[in-house]
Structure formats: structure tokens, C-alpha cells
């Protein structure tokens, strides 16, 4: 098997790269990398392996310089004859930003990107499978407080919290139109956060939002809403298992399912022990976000209900000497809280049946161990590029 992998320098793609490189069935892995030169690309790939001491084999791990958002990307891939022995494409790269200011680039990278990859894939005579890393959240925000099945998406009538999930839905639709079903494997992870192995996670993607909640302590979200969260090691193991097992379906949720679901309340209780000096977590109505934003602007009107939480307002005054920083954090956290309140759990029966895997460790259980890494997170860097 010769794989063309996109997103190998990212959170999930990096884990997939290391896991796939360990499989005997895999011969070469061509990795699409954004880099200034071949040397720079190799350094970036080496770094992926070095993080947890895995072996980098330059004969098998081959960088391909490129940028998904470019319109002549397919032409460049077609012209590169080395890539013509590719048998499997694993498309993990995406612009995952939730911020409205990045909507255009999100659309360009995620929609133009897959469109160009599809054009190229149609020229590959030996292509066996196009693995598309989608997201379970393409079901949109109309479904609340229940278990969601794979068949419910893609639904073009769904309303989306952010442009990102819309573009991921479009990617699935475009792929299904272009290639025969037997050549497609769509995997839809839920929220991938942290690592259930007791080591530093490959990336702080989404853990950034937990650390922001950890700083705020007074959180405008329903803490009891069910959350579907999985660790990166489970996500990668599930996807690679599907690539090599006998599959009965072409679309799978890569999720916690009901058995291993969690909630904001369970997660914050799990991490609280690491921060005994901070005020206790308190969940309040999501409508209070507007009041919190007004407070950060110094414009909270007299008589606001938020004054009932005086201890937290005093704590914020000490913690956020520059309230502009707090405003940046709140704006970036907004869509995360909207997702957290939907109460969506994604059925994982197909995944567990076909791979024989057990459900992942619940997030509140493994995040209790990972809480010690939260202090390493630069929340402002996360908020600027959420
Ligand atoms: N994390 C989650 O909770 C989650 C949940 C469900 C689904 N997913 C899906 O999983 C996949 C991976 O997400 P992730 O969390 O690993 O994201 P990530 O850490 O942000 O990684 C994104 C990867 O895409 C690459 N990329 C971005 N723009 C590109 C472009 N224009 N050209 C080429 N490469 C580009 C990045 O390269 P650079 O290193 O050069 O920036 C990076 O390797 C995505 O498809 C996402 O939709 C993620």
C-alpha cells in the first residue's frame, strides 16, 4: 500500500502518520507538507516522529511540497509521476478554524482542496481507497440532546454553528459524487481532545478551550449537556483499524458513543483537583455570555444578574488585568460553548462492530491525568487561531 497523506503535521494527521508508518502493509507514505523547501519539509516530518521517540524512515516517508488551497494543485500532483503508484489517499488536512474572520480561507482550503484532490484521484489507475477525515458535527445544530446516527448526514438543509462544518459536509458530498462507493471511506470523528496515554499530547487543539474554561471558572453553558469526546490515540487507532479491516459500511462515526460520553461538568470536576487555588467551577445560563462580554468591556449595566457572581468578577479583575485579553478569549470560546450545549452523542456501533475495538476511555477519566499539561497552554495563541 502506498499512501498519500495530507495534514501529517497536524494533530490527527501526525498521529495517523506515525501509526501508519508502523504497519507492515504500508510501503511508502507521501506526505503533503507546507514548507519552504524539501529540507524544511523533512524537518517538519521528523519532528512529528520525534515527539514521542518514534522512528523516522526517510526511505518510506516522502514529503510532497504543496498547498491545498491552490487552484492548480491537481495539475501539480498529476505532473509528479512519483506519486502515480499511490493506492490510498488519506485526506486529513483542513482549515479547522471556527472564527468568522477565516470563513473565506476555510472554504478555500476545505472545498477547493478536496476538489483538487478528487481531480487527481481520478487519474490514479491503482487507487483502492480515498479516506476522507470528516467530522460528526456536519449534522448541524438542529439536532439536540440525542444520539445521532451516520445516515442522518450529510443533510444539506442542516444549519451550521460555523462555516467549517459546512465545508466538511460539502467535502463528503463532492467525494460521493465523484468516486464509486467501494473506493470511499468516510470517517467522522467527534471532538478529538488530548491523549489517553500519560504523555504530552501531540497538540493542544481543543484542549485550548478547556484551559480557557479553567481560567474563567464561571462558565455560561449547560454543564450537564452530554458531550462526545475522544482521545487522539483512539481516533487514530480507530481510523487505521478501519483502513485494514473488512468494512461493511463506507461511513463511520469515530466517537465515544453513549457508553463513554462525558459532559462539561464531568470534565471540569476531573481537572479541578490540579488547581485547588482557583474558585470552584460554576455553570450558568448561556444567555449570560452577553453580560460577561459587557463586563469585560466595562459596560455591564447596573442591576445585571451577573453581579450575583461577585466573587468571580473580583477573581477576573485580578486574573485579567487587561480585559481586552478576556474579550478575545470570550469571542473565541463562543462557538465551542455552542457546540458543548447541543447534547449530541454520535452512535459508534458500526465502528466497534467492524473493528472489534472497545469504546474509548471517557474524557473525564483520561483528562484527569492530562490536567497537569493544561498550564503549558498559551490560551491567547489558541484564541487568535481557534
Ligand atoms: N481535532 C478535532 O477535534 C477534529 C474532530 C473531527 C474532525 N477533525 C478533522 O480531522 C482533520 C485533522 O484535524 P486536526 O485537528 O488534526 O487539525 P490541525 O491540527 O489543525 O491540522 C491541520 C493540518 O492541515 C494542514 N493544512 C491546513 N491548511 C492547509 C493547506 N492550505 N494546505 C496544506 N495543508 C494544510 C496543516 O498544515 P500546517 O501544519 O502546515 O498548518 C495541518 O497539517 C481535519 O480534517 C478535521 O476536520 C478534527
| Cα–Cα dist 335/312, whole Å | 22
Q: What nine digits make up the cell of 271?
A: 481537572
202 Cα distance to chain centroid:
12
Contact 71, 112 (CB under 8 A): yes
Mean pLDDT of 168-178: 98
What is residue 159's predicted lDDT score, i.e. its pLDDT? 98
In 40-199, beta strands by DSSP E: 61-65, 88-91, 129-133, 146-148, 184-189, 191-192
Mean pLDDT of 155-184: 98
pLDDT, tens only, 129-165: 999 999 999 999 999 999 999 999 999 999 999 999 9
Residue 74: phi and psi, rounded to 5, are -60, -40
Mean pLDDT of 33-47: 97
| Cα–Cα dist 252/357, whole Å | 13
pLDDT, tens only, 90-125: 999 999 999 999 999 999 999 999 999 999 999 999
Half-sphere exposure (Cβ direction) of 68: Cα atoms closer than 13 Å: 25
Percent of the chain with pLDDT over 70: 99
- Among 194-203, 232-241, 288-297, name the one with the lowest average pLDDT: 194-203
Confidence of residue 380 (pLDDT cuts 50, 70, 90): confident
44 lines ligand 1 (CB under 6 A): no
Mean pLDDT of 375-383: 86
| Cα–Cα dist 360/304, whole Å | 43
| Cα–Cα dist 223/263, whole Å | 6
CA of 148 to the centre of ligand 1 (A): 24
Helix (H, G, I), strand (E, B) or coil at 262: strand
The residue whose CB lies within 8 Å of the most ligand 1 atoms, and thus the one to mutate among 13, 45, 193, is: 13
Q: What nine digits make up the cell of 206?
A: 481543543
Which residue carries 507514505 as its cell?
29
205 lines ligand 1 (CB under 6 A): yes
Which residue carries 481586552 as its cell?
324
What is residue 386's predicted lDDT score, i.e. its pLDDT? 60
Contact 293, 330 (CB under 8 A): yes
| Cα–Cα dist 159/169, whole Å | 11
Percent of the chain with pLDDT over 90: 93
68 lines ligand 1 (CB under 6 A): yes
CA of 8 to the centre of ligand 1 (A): 8
What's the whole-number average pLDDT of the chain?
96
Output the pTM of the full model.
Answer: 0.97
Q: In ligand 1, which atom is closest to the CA atom of 192?
A: 3
Q: In ligand 1, which atom is closest to the CA atom of 8?
A: 43
- Among protein residues, the one with the nearest Cα to ligand 1's atom 11 is 92
DSSP assignment, residue 141? Answer: S
- In angstroms, the first-to-last Cα distance of the chain is 35
What is residue 322's predicted lDDT score, i.e. its pLDDT? 86
168 lines ligand 1 (CB under 6 A): yes
Q: Which helix (H) or strand (E) holds 31?
A: strand 29-33
Mean pLDDT of 194-214: 93
- Among 41-55, 75-89, 235-249, 311-325, name the one with the lowest average pLDDT: 311-325
Closest CA to 138 of 182, 183, 175: 175
What is residue 383's predicted lDDT score, i.e. its pLDDT? 80
Confidence of residue 317 (pLDDT cuts 50, 70, 90): very high
- pLDDT(256) > 80: yes
Contact 368, 267 (CB under 8 A): no
**Which fold, 3-204+228-261+343-361?**
Rossmann fold (3.40.50)
- pLDDT(372) > 70: yes
- pLDDT(367) > 80: yes
CA of 110 to the centre of ligand 1 (A): 10
Mean pLDDT of 166-192: 98
- pLDDT(52) > 70: yes
- Among protein residues, the one with the nearest Cα to ligand 1's atom 21 is 10
DSSP assignment, residue 112? Answer: I
Domain ranges of the chain: 3-204+228-261+343-361
| Cα–Cα dist 78/121, whole Å | 9
Contact 89, 121 (CB under 8 A): yes
Helix (H, G, I), strand (E, B) or coil at 351: helix
What is residue 205's predicted lDDT score, i.e. its pLDDT? 86
Mean pLDDT of 194-202: 92
| Cα–Cα dist 284/349, whole Å | 34
297 Cα distance to chain centroid:
31
Contact 48, 235 (CB under 8 A): no
Identify the burial level of 91 via C-beta atoms within 10 angstroms of its C-beta, where 0-12 means exposed, 13-18 middle and 19 or more buried.
buried
Torsion, Cα of 369, 375, 381, 386 (10° steps): 30
Amino acid at each position: 500500500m502506498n499512501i498519500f497523506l495530507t495534514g501529517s503535521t497536524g494533530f490527527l494527521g501526525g498521529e495517523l502518520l506515525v501509526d501508519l508508518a508502523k504497519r507492515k502493509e504500508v510501503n511508502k507514505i507521501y506526505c503533503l507538507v507546507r514548507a519552504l523547501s524539501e529540507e524544511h519539509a523533512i524537518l517538519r516530518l521528523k519532528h512529528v516522529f520525534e515527539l514521542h521517540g518514534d522512528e523516522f524512515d526517510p526511505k518510506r516517508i516522502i514529503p510532497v511540497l504543496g498547498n491545498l488551497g491552490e487552484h492548480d494543485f491537481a495539475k501539480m500532483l498529476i505532473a509528479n509521476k512519483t506519486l502515480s503508484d499511490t493506492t490510498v489517499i488519506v485526506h486529513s488536512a483542513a482549515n479547522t478554524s471556527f472564527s468568522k474572520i477565516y470563513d473565506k480561507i476555510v472554504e478555500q482550503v476545505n472545498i477547493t482542496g478536496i476538489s483538487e484532490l478528487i481531480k487527481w484521484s481520478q487519474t490514479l489507475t491503482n487507487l483502492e481507497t480515498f479516506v476522507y477525515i470528516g467530522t460528526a458535527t456536519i449534522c448541524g445544530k438542529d439536532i439536540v440532546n440525542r444520539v445521532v446516527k451516520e445516515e442522518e448526514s450529510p443533510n444539506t438543509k442542516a444549519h451550521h454553528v460555523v462555516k467549517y462544518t459546512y465545508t466538511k459536509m460539502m467535502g463528503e458530498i463532492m467525494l460521493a459524487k465523484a468516486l464509486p462507493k467501494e473506493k470511499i471511506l468516510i470517517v467522522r470523528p467527534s471532538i478529538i481532545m488530548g491523549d489517553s496515554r500519560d504523555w504530552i499530547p501531540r497538540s493542544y487543539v481543543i484542549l485550548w478551550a478547556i484551559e480557557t474554561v479553567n481560567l474563567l471558572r464561571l462558565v455560561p453553558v449547560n454543564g450537564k449537556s452530554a458531550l462526545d469526546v475522544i482521545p487522539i490515540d483512539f481516533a487514530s487507532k480507530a481510523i487505521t483499524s478501519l483502513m485494514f479491516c473488512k468494512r461493511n459500511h463506507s461511513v463511520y462515526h469515530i466517537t465515544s458513543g453513549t457508553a463513554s460520553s462525558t459532559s462539561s461538568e464531568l470534565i471540569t470536576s476531573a481537572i479541578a483537583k490540579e488547581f485547588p487555588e482557583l474558585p470552584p467551577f460554576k455553570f450558568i445560563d448561556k444567555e449570560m455570555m452577553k453580560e460577561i462580554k459587557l463586563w469585560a468591556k466595562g459596560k455591564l449595566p447596573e442591576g445585571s444578574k451577573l453581579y450575583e457572581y461577585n466573587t468571580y468578577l473580583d477573581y477576573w479583575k485580578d486574573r485579567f488585568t487587561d480585559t481586552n485579553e478576556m474579550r478575545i478569549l470570550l469571542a473565541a470560546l463562543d462557538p465551542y460553548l455552542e457546540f458543548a450545549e447541543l447534547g449530541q452523542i454520535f452512535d459508534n456501533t458500526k465502528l466497534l462492530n467492524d473493528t472489534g475495538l472497545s469504546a474509548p476511555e471517557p474524557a473525564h477519566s483520561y483528562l484527569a491525568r492530562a490536567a497537569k499539561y493544561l498550564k503549558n497552554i498559551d490560551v491567547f495563541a489558541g484564541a487568535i487561531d481557534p
